[in-house]
């Protein structure tokens, strides 16, 4: 009886919300085609696949080698470098890139002139539409050791030109600064939406009690958007091993591999450029497992701290 009742309710829900379910189909199709279907190819991490014999047929006929590809990676000199660079660059992004949109949203919220607020939002949001290919071209021009504006200024002040994009000291700061510049406006939209939903009577009561702007931000705004901040932090931690391949690939060079080579660039070089399909799949699978563990850990930690979490 319970099963029949559930079946009836389920069928009724499909009929009542048919247009919403229809709108859901493109998203489901995207994930099925581009996220779940390719998961079959993960098995090449456990095979000696050379690319011969076609796609599915070639994968099926390739000989099994077990965990040999994983052993090669964990015993290689590149394992520690890739792990270290990935974690350190991700830590820098968490430390600087993650709080930047929150700070911008708080500042924009305090602007009282609507025309100026819209102007600031538009200017900060525009770089998001530039691809990393374009941004890399701008940075190469701006930081050129010969005619780049930055080095022209350094030279005019009596300094020596710096090869920024080939410097192991400067490359990581350039990654962080360029990411903040490109994504800060887009990232602030979520926080601005959350701030807009805060009950304005709380601010009025705080002003009556003599609270300053900073006190209102600390005791009203930040606690009210803490759930959104926690969710975005979980997602950011989950992306620690997805190191914005487009950005690093378009900016790095062999001279800075030691400080910039991360999982995705390492997988790309071995899988696409060197045709080591099975080996690169194994490294990619290691990265995916680590990302899943980080999401689960950060979600659990946020729940322990009182936030809602993702699941």
266 falls within a domain: yes
Listed range (28-37, 201-210, 297-306) with the worst mean pLDDT: 297-306
Q: How many domains does the chain have?
A: 1
Distance CA 56, CA 140 (A): 41
62 falls within a domain: no
Which pair of structure tokens corresponds to residue 67?
Answer: 């965990």
20 falls within a domain: no
Which residues are CB-neighbours of 294 under 8 A, at least 6 positions away?
237, 238, 240, 241
Distance CA 40, CA 55 (A): 11
Could you read off the pLDDT of 248-258 as tens digits, one per residue?
999 988 899 99
pLDDT value of residue 310: 58
pLDDT at residue 269 greater than cutoff 50: yes
pLDDT value of residue 71: 93
pTM of this structure: 0.82
Distance CA 170, CA 92 (A): 13
292 falls within a domain: yes
12 falls within a domain: no
Could you read off the pLDDT of 87-119 as tens digits, one per residue?
999 899 989 999 999 999 999 988 888 899 899
The radius of gyration of the chain's CA atoms, rounded to the nearest angstrom, is 25
Task: Output 74 or 227, whichever has higher pLDDT.
Answer: 74
47 falls within a domain: no
- Residues 210-233 have a mean pLDDT of 87
How does residue 1 score in pLDDT terms, banded at 50, 70 and 90? very low
**Residue burial 218-243, b: 16+ Cβ < 10 Å; e: rest:** eebbeeebbebbbbbbbebbbebbeb
101 falls within a domain: yes
Angular region, 98: left φ>0, alpha ψ -120 to 50, beta rest: alpha
Neighbours of 138 (CB within 10 A): 13
Domain with 233, as residue range(s), is 67-304
pLDDT at residue 198 greater than cutoff 70: yes
| 8 Å CB contact between 278 and 45 | yes
310 falls within a domain: no
Could you read off the pLDDT of 151-167 as tens digits, one per residue?
999 999 888 888 999 99
Could you read off the pLDDT of 42-75 as tens digits, one per residue?
888 898 888 766 667 777 778 899 899 999 999 9
Could you read off the pLDDT of 238-248 as tens digits, one per residue?
777 776 788 99
- Residues 193-200 have a mean pLDDT of 88
Select from 139, 84, 34, 40 the least CA-distant residue to 266: 84
Question: Above pLDDT 70, what percent of the chain?
Answer: 94
Distance CA 43, CA 152 (A): 53
How does residue 283 score in pLDDT terms, banded at 50, 70 and 90? very high
Could you read off the pLDDT of 126-135 as tens digits, one per residue?
999 999 999 9
| 8 Å CB contact between 49 and 62 | yes
pLDDT at residue 148 greater than cutoff 60: yes
How does residue 231 score in pLDDT terms, banded at 50, 70 and 90? confident
Tell me the pLDDT of the chain averaged across its residues: 87
**162 phi, psi to nearest 5 deg:** -115, 135
- Residue 168 sits in a domain of what CATH number? 1.10.3720.10
């Amino acid at each position: 009886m319970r099963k029949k009742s559930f079946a009836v309710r389920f069928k009724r829900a499909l009929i009542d919300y048919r247009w919403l379910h229809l709108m859901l189909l493109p998203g489901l199709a995207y994930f099925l085609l581009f996220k779940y279907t390719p998961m079959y190819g993960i098995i090449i991490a456990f095979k000696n696949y050379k690319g011969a014999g076609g796609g599915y047929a070639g994968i099926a006929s390739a000989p099994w080698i077990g965990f040999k590809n994983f052993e090669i990676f964990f015993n290689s000199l590149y394992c520690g470098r890739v792990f270290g660079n990935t974690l350190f660059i991700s830590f820098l992004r968490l430390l600087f890139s993650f709080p930047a949109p929150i700070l911008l949203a708080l500042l924009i919220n305090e602007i009282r002139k609507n025309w100026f607020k819209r102007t600031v939002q538009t200017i900060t949001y525009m770089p998001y539409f530039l691809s990393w290919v374009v941004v890399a071209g701008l940075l190469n021009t701006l930081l050129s050791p010969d005619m780049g504006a930055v080095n022209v200024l350094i030279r005019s002040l009596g300094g020596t030109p710096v090869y920024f994009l080939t410097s192991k000291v400067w490359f990581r700061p350039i990654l962080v600064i360029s990411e903040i510049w490109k994504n800060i406006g887009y990232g602030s939209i979520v926080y601005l939406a959350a701030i807009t939903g805060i009950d304005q009577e709380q601010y009025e009561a705080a002003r009556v009690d003599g609270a300053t702007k900073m006190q209102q931000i600390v005791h009203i705004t930040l606690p009210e958007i803490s759930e959104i901040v926690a969710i975005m932090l979980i997602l950011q931690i989950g992306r620690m091993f997805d190191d914005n391949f487009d950005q690093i690939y378009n900016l790095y060079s062999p001279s800075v591999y030691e400080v910039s080579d991360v999982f995705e660039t390492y997988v790309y070089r071995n899988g696409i450029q060197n045709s080591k399909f099975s080996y690169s799949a194994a490294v990619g699978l290691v990265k995916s497992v680590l990302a899943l563990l980080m999401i689960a850990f950060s979600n659990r930690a946020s729940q322990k701290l009182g936030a809602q979490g993702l699941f």
